[in-house]
Amino acid sequence: MTERTPDTNTVDNSKQSPSRISFIALVRRELRALWHDPWQLALVSYIPLLGIFCLWWLFSAGLPRQLPVAIVDQDHSQLSRMLTRQLKANPVTEPQNFIDLTAAVTAMQQAKVYAIVVFPYDMKKDLLTGHKPTIDVRYNSQFLLVGKLLSSQIQLSLGEGLLHVAGLKQLASGTPKSQVAVNLSPVKSQTTALFNRNNNYIGFLVPPVLVALWQLLSMLVMANSLNRELHLNPMNVDSDTYHGVSNVLTVAFWPKVLAKMVLFTPILMLQGGFILVWLYLYLGLPVAGSLASLLLAQSVMLLAVWSLVLLVFVVMRDSARVISFCTALFAPAFAFMGITFPTHEMPQLAQWWRLIMPSSHYIESHVSVVSYGAALPNVASQLSSYWGFLCLLPVIYFLSRKLLPITANATSVVTVYDSDATQPAKGQ
Domain positions in the chain: 8-58+200-420, 67-184
Q: Which amino acid is at 362?
A: Y
Give residues with Cβ within 8 angstroms of 183, minimum separation 6.
170, 175
* Cβ proximity of 268 and 343 under 8 Å: no
pLDDT at residue number 183: 61
Instruction: Classify residue 54 as left (phi > 0), alpha (psi -120 to 50) or beta.
Output: alpha
pLDDT at residue number 92: 86
Side-chain-side CA neighbours of 139 within 13 Å: the count stands at 18
From residue 55, give the alpha-carbon distance in Å to each of 52, 63, 207.
5, 14, 10
* Cβ proximity of 306 and 268 under 8 Å: no
pLDDT at residue number 181: 62
DSSP 141: T
Distance CA 293, CA 280 (A): 14
The H-assigned helical ranges of 317-347 are 319-330
Distance CA 42, CA 53 (A): 16
According to CATH, the topology of domain 67-184 is: abc type-2 transporter like fold (3.40.1710)
Q: Measured in Å, how far apart are the chain's first and last C-alpha atoms?
A: 17
Burial of residue 223, with CB atoms counted within 10 A of its CB: 0-12 exposed, 13-18 middle, 19 or more buried: buried
List the pLDDT tens digit at each of the 428 positions of the chain: 444 444 434 434 444 444 456 888 888 889 999 999 999 999 999 999 999 999 888 877 667 788 899 999 888 888 888 889 988 988 888 999 998 889 999 998 888 899 999 998 888 888 777 778 888 888 887 776 788 788 888 888 888 777 777 776 666 676 676 666 656 565 566 666 666 655 667 777 889 999 999 999 999 999 999 999 888 766 554 344 455 677 777 788 899 999 999 999 999 999 999 999 999 999 888 888 899 999 999 999 999 999 999 999 999 989 999 999 999 999 888 888 888 777 777 888 888 988 999 999 999 999 999 988 889 999 989 898 899 899 999 999 999 888 888 876 765 554 444 444 444 444 44
Q: Which helix (H) or strand (E) holds 118?
A: strand 115-119
Distance CA 39, CA 245 (A): 23
Q: Where are the strands (E) in 258-393, listed by range?
A: none
- Strands ordered across the beta sheet of 93-98: 93-98, 67-73, 115-119, 136-139
pLDDT at residue number 17: 46
Sign of CA dihedral 322, 16, 411, 27: positive
Q: Which amino acid is at 157?
A: S
* Cβ proximity of 379 and 296 under 8 Å: yes
Q: How many residues does the chain have?
A: 428
pLDDT at residue number 194: 64
Quote the distance between the C-alpha of residue 370 and its chain's center.
18
Q: Which amino acid is at 36?
A: H
pLDDT at residue number 4: 46
Q: Which helix (H) or strand (E) holds 137?
A: strand 136-139
Distance CA 225, CA 309 (A): 11
Q: Indicate the angle between helix axes 319-330 and 291-316, nearest 10 degrees.
A: 140
pLDDT at residue number 47: 93
Classified as helix, coil or strand, 69 is strand
* Cβ proximity of 317 and 233 under 8 Å: no
Give residues with Cβ within 8 angstroms of 43, minimum separation 6.
217, 220, 221, 224
